[in-house]
Structure 1
């Protein structure tokens, strides 16, 4: 009797671990697809909302679909785990490849969300029915759901602090898929005696075949992703990295280089001076005292290069959210050549921090503040174009101090340009709209 109880307990435990792995990989698959949708389509808030909503709805459909299966539940549960492992592993690669050959990659991303949601939705009722043999109802349901939700928490933490910043969108899906793959095989092996011999052979062959495909995909993942990504840019990609905050890409054409963040061009070495010189020299020329200068953003170092042309400047502080961008500005040969090694100058201090939080906590007063940030297309950036942020900046300026910010294109985004102007006025600034023609970007303000 003790042996029977021990065996039942072991089977139930393995089943719960499988549900934990499903929750772990499922939630991260949502985040991966949401991030990819934001990268390919834009509008991060909308994409995260749609992907998560679609996947939760699909889980409901999957739960309803599970009613149709009344025999060989263990077999179908293992099959769904296998398919889930495959889809999670290849979600990013499939999206990148489709994006490389068509502009309709968003359809594939949404279809993958539906498929993964359906599989997770099917698995939870299957697991509950299987575990019904090992635990009474009140423990069964709570334990199954509990492990799935706990897995989701761990998965979210893994994606935020390990997967995205260290493994990127190329390898994070494979780590998750392989974990799910391994746990599902352990579950199948533990419960194999409850599956008839014919279906056992099918599953053994399936594990071998899918395992080989996953390992092959892992080996070719980087070139496949690069193929899909390269199609997004007309020039050759010489650097590509997904950081915790953004996708940074550098392309090359002849002797010129371009910097892209989340697919949007930030500068070209061909004509970046048409942006950076007016931004620095216009505001510095209006400021009587310029000893202590603050730059928010501008991790490429070009603004600092121009600032160092003023010998009276004693201290320059550059604050950029992304540590990787600062590293590129300080050590990448493309940027150190472009910015004349400005970020390594003894007058310059670089800080990796959120600009809003940095300004809110800073007790220092500055003579000049320059804000060189991407357009406000997500929550983190939106707050840096608000009256609240401009009020903080106003309070951190000397009485004679000056402030300047990039404000988009007055030609392509006229309303946004004048919205920035009105917001600055609402924060008590006296404003002067300024724009210049940048050849690679167009009219810029």
Structure 2
């Protein structure tokens, strides 16, 4: 190491080597905290909106730009770098620690999520951008060295700290504390390390008033974060309730999603939401599930595969046929199946379908399971979430349907829930083209489900396009009959195929079509 001087330019309470180590440790911790803030902004966006790619792109681009702005602004703060660094870290810990709660509140009460996200990403990025230039000055005041070597040391500590923060976020903070409390905890750590290092190590550069102000500021920041930690759970409950019309009777965040049950004040309408999207209403779910299941059961049905359907309601309709010998349910989230099996209202609604000995449940990704599957099924039911984000779009890809086709015998059938032909016509018709791309012949049909609106399905085979019909031995139904099913084949002129393209893994056009859907409704 080339040094111009080994004598510190400021009085320190410890030898220069130790002081330098402490500053680099602070760089390490602050870098870890900064990356956690960044990941938290992406995570809350994916939780609330589901569009991970867009949220990550917005956060990363805004923060990187803001870091450049912050680096330029740091020129004005070099007069007293120790004081400036402590103030920056105090502000960063407060804004970053509270960012998740602030965004949740903006989403729940003010419908201002996107502006709030951009603002917070910019503020956090700018504060992070100020850090390194100030730290460079502090390092040089401890012991002069070549700028290139000082930068190398700082960036090494910064990057390794980023690695720690990136790994701690999904494997430690989220499992132990959850997103709101985890962010607050990291904010408190950021404040203690960033401000305390200055208060102790560089106290000779601070006047009495500055020292007292920083001490009080640290206490205020920690107090605010402590209150936020204490009331985070109640805040989340209140914000979540603001998003739903009816009182919430159950809420949990599983490994994969947020699961919410609501019940109307009269007790008649129980609804399940996954990540804010309605899955069913007890008032009219039978319309959806009768339309989904009974046409696909008009043929061989001894062995049935259900992809999704963790609420057990499609399973209820399948098990009404005594000649069904086995049903395999592949659903990613065990928490949904557990709730559907134990909640008295839902288990009563699905007829305790998961207790039937003919049912086998597999908790894994449907795409992965199909790739490894070597078995054929007479009927396949794809009752999956809409393909409106990266995680679910692959379940509406030509590659996915090709795997399904491999699991069908020559006379096997597939039914797909395909969203709303009225509210999302491009996404709906894209599913049909994607089935054709995979070598399946499909027939579209649609019904009205009041809680969803107009809803559509595809019945497909590996042979010719099938004509949806009810089995001769269909059980008594509340909604569907032959006349209604014949009418379900008719689509109004303004909701017919607009000429869209198929969706693939490399070109998930279904995401784009969903993004343009439901506008004005």
SS at match of 1:410: coil
TM-superposed CA distance for 1:354, in Å, is: 1.3
SS at match of 1:431: strand
- Asked whether 1:63 is paired with 2:75, we answer no
Partner of 2:290: 277
Cα distance in 2 between the residues matched to 1:167 and 1:274: 40
TM-superposed CA distance for 1:113, in Å, is: 0.7
Partner of 1:178: 188
**Number of aligned pairs?**
443
Partner of 2:339: 328
Alignment of 1:80-229 (within 5 A): 80-132=88-140, 133-134=142-143, 136=145, 137-196=147-206, 197-229=208-240
TM-superposed CA distance for 1:422, in Å, is: 1.4
Cα distance in 1 between the residues matched to 2:426 and 2:164: 43
- Asked whether 1:265 is paired with 2:278, we answer yes
Partner of 1:444: 455
More helix per residue: 1
Partner of 1:47: 55
TM-superposed CA distance for 1:184, in Å, is: 2.2
Cα displacement string for residues 129-168 of structure 1 (whole angstroms, at most 9, x for unaligned residues): 2122346334321221122222222222222334345533
Larger Rg: 2
TM-superposed CA distance for 1:91, in Å, is: 0.9
Distance 1:170 1:251, change over 3 A: farther
Q: 1:305 aligns with which of 307, 311, 316?
A: 316
SS at match of 1:20: helix
CA contact (8 A) 1:366 1:398 kept: yes
Cα distance in 2 between the residues matched to 1:351 and 1:109: 37
CA RMSD of aligned residues (A): 2.3
Cα distance in 2 between the residues matched to 1:147 and 1:334: 54
SS at match of 2:15: helix
Distance 1:105 1:311, change over 3 A: same
SS at match of 1:200: helix
SS at match of 1:23: helix
Cα distance in 2 between the residues matched to 1:324 and 1:167: 19
Name whichever of 248-257 and 214-223 sits farther off.
248-257
- Asked whether 1:319 is paired with 2:330, we answer yes
TM-superposed CA distance for 1:325, in Å, is: 2.1
Cα distance in 2 between the residues matched to 1:431 and 1:28: 46
Cα distance in 1 between the residues matched to 2:276 and 2:336: 15
Structure 2 unaligned regions, length at least 5: 1-5, 457-521
Distance 1:360 1:201, change over 3 A: same
TM-superposed CA distance for 1:351, in Å, is: 2.0
Distance 1:302 1:96, change over 3 A: same
Name whichever of 33-42 and 142-151 sits farther off.
33-42
TM-superposed CA distance for 1:263, in Å, is: 1.9
CA contact (8 A) 1:321 1:354 kept: yes
Name whichever of 316-325 and 417-426 sits farther off.
316-325
TM-superposed CA distance for 1:371, in Å, is: 0.9
Cα displacement string for residues 389-433 of structure 1 (whole angstroms, at most 9, x for unaligned residues): 101110111222111111001111122211111111221112121
TM-superposed CA distance for 1:388, in Å, is: 0.8
Cα distance in 2 between the residues matched to 1:346 and 1:9: 70
Cα distance in 1 between the residues matched to 2:191 and 2:69: 23
Name whichever of 338-347 and 364-373 sits farther off.
338-347
TM-superposed CA distance for 1:192, in Å, is: 3.8
CA contact (8 A) 1:295 1:317 kept: yes
Cα distance in 2 between the residues matched to 1:240 and 1:342: 22
Partner of 2:86: 78
Q: TM-score, normalised by structure 1?
A: 0.93
Partner of 1:26: 34
Cα distance in 2 between the residues matched to 1:28 and 1:425: 44
Runs of 4+ aligned residues of structure 1 deviating over 6 Å after TM superposition are 1-6
Distance 1:380 1:8, change over 3 A: same
Cα distance in 2 between the residues matched to 1:239 and 1:93: 21
SS at match of 2:327: strand
Cα distance in 2 between the residues matched to 1:124 and 1:165: 31
Cα distance in 2 between the residues matched to 1:167 and 1:352: 25
Cα distance in 1 between the residues matched to 2:325 and 2:156: 58
Cα distance in 2 between the residues matched to 1:439 and 1:373: 19
Q: 2:426 aligns with which of 415, 419, 423?
A: 415
TM-superposed CA distance for 1:14, in Å, is: 2.1
Cα distance in 2 between the residues matched to 1:335 and 1:219: 33
CA contact (8 A) 1:14 1:186 kept: no
SS at match of 2:259: strand
Distance 1:127 1:243, change over 3 A: farther
Cα distance in 1 between the residues matched to 2:106 and 2:13: 50
